[in-house]
Structure 1
Amino acid sequence: MILKIFSNNYIINITKSLPRGVYRILPSEEFKKDDIVVFEIPEETKKYLFDRKYVPSIVTSMMKKVASEKIDDVIEINNNNELIINSKNWGKVYKYDSYGRKLPEIDVKKMKVQKGEIFLLSDYSDRSFDGRYFGVVPISSIKYKVELFFRF
Structure 2
Amino acid sequence: MNPDTITAAAATVIALGSLWVSYTQTRSSQQHNRQSVRPVLVMRRIKGWEERKVGLQVINAGLGPAIVTYTVVRLDGQDIGHWDRHSHDRVTESLPAWLMVYSLRPGAVVLAGQSTFLLHFDEEFNESEHHDFWDLITRRLVIEIHYESLYGGEDFKASPPQY
Structure having the larger proportion of residues in helix: 2
Q: Larger RCO: Structure 1 or Structure 2 (Cα < 8 Å, ≥ 6 residues apart)?
A: 1
Task: Give the TM-score, by structure 2 length.
Answer: 0.26
Task: Give the TM-score, by structure 1 length.
Answer: 0.27
Structure having the larger proportion of residues in strand: 1
